[in-house]
Structure 1
Amino acid sequence: MPATATTTDTTADTSDTSGASVDRAGESGDVLRSVAQRVLWLSAAIVDAANRGRPNSSGVKVGGHQASSASMVDIMVALWFHTLRGEDRVSVKPRASPVLHAIHYLLGDLDPAYLTTLRDKGGLQSYPSRLKDPDTVDFSTGSVGIGATAALWAAIAHRYARSHFADTPDAGRFVSLLGDAELDEGAIWEAVADPQVASLGELLWVVDLNRQSLDRVVPDIQIERLQGMFAAAGWQVVTLKWGQFVSELFERPGGAELRRRLEEMPNEEYQRMLRVPAGEVAERILAGQDSLALRNLVGSLGTDDLAHAVRDLGGHDLPLLVDTFDGADDHRPTVVFAYTIKGRGLATEGHPNNHSALLTEPQMRHLADVCGIDTTDPWAPFPTDTAAGRLCTQRADALARPATTTTGAVEVPTALGHPHRKPVSTQAALGRLLADVVRDAPELAARLVTCSPDVASSTNLGGWINKTGVWSVKERHDWFADDRERVLRWSESETGQHIELGIAEVNLVGLLGELGTTWSRWGQRLIPVATIYDPFVSRALEPWSYGIYAGGQSILVGTPSGVTLAPEGGAHQSITTPSIGLEQPGCIAWEPAFAQDLEWTFLHAASRVGVEGGTSSYFRLSTRPLDPALAEVPDEPALLERRRQQAIAGGYRLSQHPADQDEVTLVGVGALMPEVIDATRVLTASGVRTGVVCLTSPDLVFRSFQQRGNRAARDGNVIDELFPAHAPAPLVTVQDGHPHTLAFLAGARGDRIRCLGVSEFGQSTSLADAYALHGLDTASIVDAALGLLGR
């Protein structure tokens, strides 16, 4: 590493040094500085144009983050205009999106028409968006912590794809640019601490250490603690505190005292010094100091030099940044703490409330003068015959990426054809399905990869793991290979197809999302499937949702679910997840009751993952064994196929009589179908002609309901098939989840409805007691039906 940076090994103490400057052929410090000045102007102008350059009749502030962008300018210029290669992937901190767009404009990756469209319809998004921005964005960011860790999971996803498919293109570095306040997020530390991460030498994180959050100057950044936490996790830690100019002053007589004074003053005092006139800086440095050498050194410096010195931080020293990025260890992950000033170069520089402050019109004119911009042509690129223009052309060529060649068609069967005769839970049926796929559908099996947060065996992945093995970044010796009593063969290698993480659901879905983007990043289709205890879906929802937003397609299996897991008590009984699944964009929620329904719907879901226009799926499964005979699956091939089509459309009728003969219709989902069917028998014996509907996906039924009358309807008319308008009947809906999930069915025909479900925390009980406690037992269903009929 260069002498200007401090490298912290896992066994070394941290200290900070800085100093030497280097030039690169064709990328001298002067050229990079001129590019940085232009990027600073453009990023500020992009935000200014969004707020003052277009009509806004709503009165709602458009907003933007000029100060947060300014602190990142030099770091990003060093990367894009020197370090990065075309195969590298970068996650940019959310509030630096204007810097990313400014750089892309200079590199020819963004049409100038977009420069005035920040936060406008069809324009530049508020934060980097992989799918919605018009230029190249590698990772969607915006939810702090999630976007930063996405690059880490993408590195693992790429390694997995390369280890299984030799034609996967090479990848370079996976870079995350994050703000220091982002390190408060637990998602960061869950990811950093994962044992496999220490082997990822392709990871480079750069922390914009501007010591400000949204509301304040951070009183104590505790940099030593942060350095130690990364080092303890096996990362190379580099700290860039001071730039070349001030580092040279530190070597003069009185320099050690100057350094001590600057480093020991509180962050707030330092920030305040940045806001005073240049002539007052010396007085503030010397306040309370009795060192003659320090007074002599400070007195020997001109006003402008002293003001420059206190601002000369490592995160703004372009040659130092270039050297540091070039010298990063490629055998373990690297984190660079780059000290910066929030708002560097702007009139709001260092102000504690500059987070979303906008420069005034006079301040923008002053910035233009400083940056050498003609305000009559504010978006002018560099002339191609200048050193900066030539550098832009060279870097555009170096960063160009070939078009992605996608995987050829993968055959996904619609069914495996195995009979389902014995009572089995949907959770166990999933385990059997995955194990059978290895033999019955090898082309599909090769593309499947499963993940779990230390619950693989308890979610019935044992058979799949025994057949395919566990994937690891590097081979691990199996010390139990000769143990004949072992049921689960836990053999870890680069050829395995199950990835086990620690008990960290956020890590699980972060990896899941990136495994689900390999088809679009490197043309290698994967079908990632994760199992997680259903009560913890809520904990993992935000990062999984964000992965879907960023284009990750995957299958999340929540199991076991509901109060059906009665003995586990209220802490492990999920209530809201059916509604969550129904409401999640980019995802189809499924809750099949029977093993055959699970087989059909899971294979259908798998066919929609890793393809253009595909979608994610969420399966809510149970540990309660159900008798497959209750499903009355037809034997005749044509009727069997009809039932399959109904199952993947969202549901089917179990009644033998037509819908127009129903006096009341019972609608069941998942594990409660036995109670629904038992209630039907009781009602029928009481002379009430009762219809039964089994929903496999309330989500798809709701979509069908919403698309009535919509000429662009895409999800079929299952709502009309299940609840035909000419045959109204009172409805009783039954689900092991919140009852409002199915309340929309009242609008299908304007029927009276009773929605049975779970709206209170449960407790440890037997299954029968749990259903009775929450009003889900047969007697409660019968009572609800008779009540609707006025009997």
Structure 2
Amino acid sequence: MDEKVSGAADIQLIDQLVDIDPEETAEWHQSLDAALETGGPVRARYLLLSLLQHAHEKSISVSNLRTTDYLNTIPPHLEPEFPGDEALERRIRAFIRWNAAITVHRAQRPGVGVGGHISTYASSASLYEVGFNHFFRGKNHPGGGDQIFYQGHASPGMYARAFLEGRFTEHQMDGFRQELSHDGGGLSSYPHPRLMSDFWEFPTVSMGLGPINAVYQARFNRYLHGRGIKDTSEQTVWAFLGDGEMDEPESVSALSLAGREGLDNLVFVINCNLQRLDGPVRGNGKIIQELESIFGGAGWNVLKVVWGREWDELLAQDREGALLDLMNSTPDGDFQTFKSEDGAFIRENFFGRDPRTAAMVADWSDEKIWNLKRGGHDYKKLYAAYSAATQKNGKPTVILAKTIKGWTLGSHFEARNSTHQMKKMTLEDLREFRDRLGIPLTDEQLDPKTPSYYHPGKDSPEYKYMMERRQLLGGSMPHRRNASRALPQPPDETYESVNRGSGTQEIATTMAFVRLLKDLVKVPELGKRIVPIIPDEARTFGMDSLFPTLKIYSPHGQKYISVDRELMLSYKEATNGVILHEGINEAGSVASFTAVGSSYSTHDEPMIPIYIFYSMFGFQRTGDAFWAAADQLCRG
């Protein structure tokens, strides 16, 4: 490659801009050179970042950095006060952690042995509980309630919370993964609305379908609002995902849609425990930094929750940037290993890499070093991130929370490559787990095969607190609405043109279909419920005749001058448009179909999606998504 061309990539930021005052520019360069010479690169870097932040505060149009330092996005001095009883909520989390693990463990008893996953919920308990106690709005909330896509492998935690609330009995909990064989019916392995139609709203396994369906659910909520069918302005869509899951193409394929449509009613919470089934997600890299770049480039707010509050005092001492440099340069594979060892190992192999950081913890005990938490296990840090995520600013938000897979389960589970496949605990594990969580069970209650569940009782402060919180937020979750109002049948005359036929003239079946569709959308009370979903094939099917009358939905309307504006069949976009035109995007079209077709349940607003696609392109890529739509009990 030509040297001039290869070097251009480094200087392309300003090369085509006009410098109206070269002398002033030179003075700024000289100032930076002086700062670099006197203060060093750490100081010079700080000044540049400070100027960039100040430029944003002054609304100067400068692009954000693709990646920021490996730190929490929200600094300690900007964290809001935590409004709850943190000690009481810690006890509630302990009870749920215990019951979630015991649910899976008891499912391995002799004669059953159905498998399950212990470690995913162990890493994400705080991510869910800060939501359940402070943010997730139930169906009875005046604003209509939130919609939550739960990470599939974390289902035991949702069952454990429902057990504490009195929604499930011990007998039902013992039916985990035994939907048909358990007496009275069991609990599904993962979120399955078809199997548990009054509990789960959204199927989130197989991997990757949760993220794309969550995006299109949030988009459909805006669509309902734009058309005046329902006020969805207070509803938020939350999607809880795994960092390994983000490798699925569907997980990231709709991020740009969420960004360009400004879906600030959407929050992704990605559980970055750094592990997938077989090993590290990015052993030689940093998955949080990678995801920050991807989401930021797609127009999302990115909130990183990397470090717990115990790190704050160390970072405040880091005047030379030595600790920050270690955090930035240490790969995920090392961070995983650190939490499978002990404090002495971390002292030597992390802090010991630089004499300046070693000095920071020289008078710390190994135990204190070991207790340096990840941000995804710190309730205060998470509350700050969730508070920021729910502030409407015209962008969707992703929270990247660093956790430990198998956290609190003990040294045989935490951060081990095999932890995802581990289904049961030894008696030693059970005792250590009980003692760590402070569960008031005796050794006699820890049967190796069927250790006891624990419930504090309905008179306990923990039970009263969690129930009061859910009542204030609109009721228990997960919860699915089973019934909705019926729609009127179209009168017989609606079909008159189709029944009459085309006489002696042959017409295509697509033409006949469009003629019928035009008549159906005119039916009072029914027509406005019909939602055509088109993956960029309207002209192929002769459906372009719908553009001028039904219009294409766009949250921005039509801000440009349309090239065919003077034609009868002009391409028209509108904020209250009826057609969901998805572009060359069959997967997105099915995700829209799923959101529209389940509206009777999610919003108590029955809608009729009609998805039209080329069979040679549309079906072969979307079979899994159609299966999920059926699991979600879609109608259309």
Relative to the length of structure 1, the TM-score reads 0.64
1:534 Cα deviation (Å)?
0.8
Deviations, residues 330-356 of structure 1 (Å, cap 9, x unaligned) = 232100111111111112100112112
- Secondary structure of the structure 2 residue equivalent to 1:90: strand
**Which amino acid is 1:409 matched to?**
L
CA contact (8 A) 1:67 1:354 kept: yes
1:89 Cα deviation (Å)?
1.1
1:105 Cα deviation (Å)?
2.4
Separation in 1, partners of 2:482, 2:193? 15
Of 152, 159, 162, 1:94 maps to 152
Q: Tell which deviates more after alignment, 247-256 or 486-495.
A: 247-256
Does the alignment pair 1:432 with 2:515? yes
Does the alignment pair 1:55 with 2:121? no
In structure 1, the gaps of 5 or more residues are 1-5, 555-791
- What residue in structure 1 maps to residue 386 of structure 2? 325
- Secondary structure of the structure 2 residue equivalent to 1:136: coil
- Secondary structure of the structure 1 residue equivalent to 2:583: coil
Separation in 2, partners of 1:170, 1:131? 28
Change (3 A) 1:506 1:39: same
- What residue in structure 1 maps to residue 24 of structure 2? none
- What residue in structure 2 maps to residue 371 of structure 1? 437
Separation in 1, partners of 2:161, 2:546? 47
Of 354, 358, 368, 2:419 maps to 354
- What residue in structure 1 maps to residue 603 of structure 2? 522
Higher relative contact order (CA 8 A, sep 6+): 2
**Which amino acid is 2:171 matched to?**
A
CA contact (8 A) 1:478 1:492 kept: no
Does the alignment pair 1:199 with 2:256? no
Separation in 1, partners of 2:485, 2:117? 40
Separation in 1, partners of 2:321, 2:156? 38
Does the alignment pair 1:477 with 2:542? no
CA contact (8 A) 2:487 2:606 kept: no
- Secondary structure of the structure 1 residue equivalent to 2:512: helix
Does the alignment pair 1:70 with 2:122? yes
What's the RMSD between the two structures over aligned residues?
Answer: 2.7
1:478 Cα deviation (Å)?
5.9
Separation in 2, partners of 1:301, 1:160? 55
CA contact (8 A) 2:259 2:299 kept: no
Separation in 1, partners of 2:69, 2:323? 16
Structure 1 or 2: more strand by fraction: 1
| Higher CA-based Rg | 1
Of 109, 118, 123, 2:176 maps to 118
- Secondary structure of the structure 1 residue equivalent to 2:496: coil
1:100-249 equivalence runs, <5 A: 100-121=158-179, 122-133=185-196, 136-166=199-229, 172-194=235-257, 198-218=261-281, 219=283, 220-249=285-314
Change (3 A) 1:535 1:361: farther
Separation in 2, partners of 1:91, 1:197? 22
Of 321, 328, 336, 1:271 maps to 336
**Which amino acid is 2:496 matched to?**
G
Does the alignment pair 1:396 with 2:470? yes
- What residue in structure 1 maps to residue 18 of structure 2? none
**Which amino acid is 1:137 matched to?**
W
Change (3 A) 1:362 1:135: farther
Separation in 1, partners of 2:635, 2:514? 21
- What residue in structure 1 maps to residue 69 of structure 2? 15
Separation in 2, partners of 1:428, 1:300? 80
Q: Tell which deviates more after alignment, 13-22 or 263-272.
A: 13-22
Change (3 A) 1:469 1:280: closer
- What residue in structure 2 maps to residue 261 of structure 1? 326
- What residue in structure 1 maps to residue 526 of structure 2? 444
Aligned identity (percent) is 24
**Which amino acid is 1:363 matched to?**
D
CA contact (8 A) 1:161 1:518 kept: no
CA contact (8 A) 1:465 1:497 kept: no
Change (3 A) 1:171 1:538: farther
1:96 Cα deviation (Å)?
0.7
Separation in 1, partners of 2:266, 2:198? 23
1:259 Cα deviation (Å)?
4.3
1:515 Cα deviation (Å)?
0.2
The count of residues paired between Structure 1 and Structure 2 equals 536
Separation in 1, partners of 2:257, 2:533? 14
- What residue in structure 2 maps to residue 466 of structure 1? 548
Of 531, 535, 541, 1:453 maps to 535
Separation in 2, partners of 1:337, 1:221? 12
1:269 Cα deviation (Å)?
2.2
- What residue in structure 2 maps to residue 492 of structure 1? 573
In structure 2, the gaps of 5 or more residues are 1-52, 57-61, 139-144, 180-184, 446-450
1:360 Cα deviation (Å)?
2.2
Separation in 1, partners of 2:136, 2:482? 19
CA contact (8 A) 2:259 2:300 kept: no
1:498 Cα deviation (Å)?
0.5
1:226 Cα deviation (Å)?
2.2
1:512 Cα deviation (Å)?
0.4
Of 283, 295, 298, 2:348 maps to 283
Separation in 2, partners of 1:459, 1:315? 50
Deviations, residues 68-127 of structure 1 (Å, cap 9, x unaligned) = 111111101111112212201110111111112222223344344322221012211111
- What residue in structure 1 maps to residue 496 of structure 2? 417
- Secondary structure of the structure 1 residue equivalent to 2:419: coil
**Which amino acid is 2:581 matched to?**
E
**Which amino acid is 1:232 matched to?**
G
Deviations, residues 474-506 of structure 1 (Å, cap 9, x unaligned) = 32236238833x242222223321111121111
CA contact (8 A) 2:259 2:395 kept: no
CA contact (8 A) 1:470 1:498 kept: yes
Change (3 A) 1:379 1:399: farther
